[in-house]
Amino acid sequence: MKKEILYIHHAGELGGAPKSLSILLNGLDRKTYNATVFMLIDGPAKRLFDNGYNDVIVSEKRLFAFHGTTVSSMSFRLFVKNILYVIPNAIAAYKIISKTKPDIVHLNTTCLFIYAFISKVFFKDIKVVSHVREPLLNNFFGNILKRFNNKYCDFFIPINDFESLPFKNSKHQVVKNSIDTNLYSYNEQIRNIERKELGFNDEDFVIGYFARFNIENGIEDILKIAQALYGLKASVKIIIYGFEPELLPKEIVGIANKMPENVILKGMVSNVNDKMQMIDLLLSPFKEPHFSRSIIEAQSLSIPVLVSNVESQNTLLLNNKTGYLYDFGNVEYAVDKILYLKSNQDVLNQMKKDARTYALDMFCENNNNKKIHEIYDGLLALSK
């Protein structure tokens, strides 16, 4: 008899977490497991999960996870939501677990610990896995995630050693985030089409940023780097995918309005594998520790990366081989590396080759899915 796995996902928008979960779902052993995905919020991420094999259920009422990680920081608005949505999430958890009767509940973030609590308090023999995708905040809310996850989860899957620290005394195994290395492979034809569409010339050196447009993700450094390059009259363009002005506060939109003419602002896109083909260098200038999916996507596409040296994302490249680390705020160093790669084609080409090799070694979806399947098997064996 097949085992049932209930995946809990916290948001509706596109991003790294739903992409990672979709890769796991696409590689799931269907002879052994059935999968149901429960989404707290409807949105375009649903398309990633609805592949014909999974049951995808969206909450009837919009729910919000309990924020306590560096991905969202903390604000009064999030504080209020954390309090208001504890009971609605608990009710939803009881209903969906009663309906699906899972053998395993897999949380796609530690912010969903309420679903672990309900699994253990009201049901028997359910194993709970928590995917640790972001560092926890060093405050009251981060401590809540740490305490309740450690108490009610059976196993943790951190994506890096840094993310594993709050759960080092619990059962865990680091499994790097995965990427479809076949989908994310260099295609010169697509590259030429995408560059032509945006009017880039052959001599243009194009830098790409693929992440949410916010302070935590380093947009202040992007502005300074762009201004420096513009002042040098370098033939360098920066394209930003992740700018959604209608969803942003005025001060963040104000930073966007200061961007010089060498910057192109675009919204979030689902076909990152195509849009990223056009760039020569990926920029990930995060200010706060956090995983950056665009770093592994770029390297799989044979694109070097320029990455701020903060925890989590600084483990996703080989410094001086597949890209460069720089200290956040050190704009002069970052600009020097950009101009160096632009003017040294042989170095750039070697980095492209090394980036692809590294991605195949570290982020291959088949290898990482196998590790997670083994975790499932081990937990189920304990239930017998």
Q: What is the DSSP string of 53-65?
A: SSEEEE-SS----
Contacts of 267 (CB under 8 A, 6+ apart): 241, 242, 243, 244
Query: In this structure, are residues 85 and 66 in contact, taking their beta carbons and an 8 Å threshold?
Result: yes
The pLDDT assigned to 77 comes to: 78
pLDDT of residue 15: 82
Q: What is the pLDDT of residue 229?
A: 97
Rounded CA separation 222/315 (Å):
21
pLDDT at residue 79, as a whole number = 82
Burial of residue 335, with CB atoms counted within 10 A of its CB: 0-12 exposed, 13-18 middle, 19 or more buried: buried
Backbone phi and psi for residue 324, each to the nearest 5 degrees, phi listed first: -135, 145
Tokens of 116: 């672990």
CATH 3.40.50.2000: which residues of the chain?
3-178+364-383, 188-362
Written as tens digits, the pLDDT of the chain (384 aa) is 899 999 999 999 888 889 899 999 999 999 999 999 999 999 999 999 988 888 999 999 999 999 888 776 667 777 888 889 999 999 999 999 999 999 999 999 999 999 999 999 999 899 999 999 998 988 989 999 999 999 999 999 999 999 999 999 999 999 999 999 999 999 999 999 999 999 999 899 999 999 999 999 999 999 999 999 999 999 999 999 999 999 899 999 999 999 999 999 999 998 999 999 999 999 999 998 888 999 999 999 999 999 999 998 999 999 999 999 999 999 999 999 999 999 999 999 999 999 999 999 999 999 999 999 999 999 998 776
CATH architecture assignment, domain 3-178+364-383? 3-Layer(aba) Sandwich (3.40)
The pLDDT value given to residue 74 = 67
CATH number assigned to the domain with residue range 188-362, chosen from the 4 options 3.40.50.11540, 4.10.640.10, 2.70.98.90, 3.40.50.2000: 3.40.50.2000
Q: Going by DSSP bridges, is the β-strand pair 127-132/104-107 parallel, antiparallel, or unpaired?
A: parallel
Residues facing 205 on adjacent strands: 236
Q: Is the pTM value of this prediction over 0.85?
A: no
> What does the alpha-carbon distance between residue 322 and residue 243 come to, in Å, rounded to a whole number?
27
Q: Which alpha helices (H) appear in the chain, and where do they start and end?
A: 16-26, 46-49, 76-84, 86-100, 113-122, 140-152, 161-164, 188-197, 219-231, 250-257, 272-275, 293-300, 331-343, 345-362, 365-383
CA atoms in the 13 A half-sphere facing the CB of 161: 3
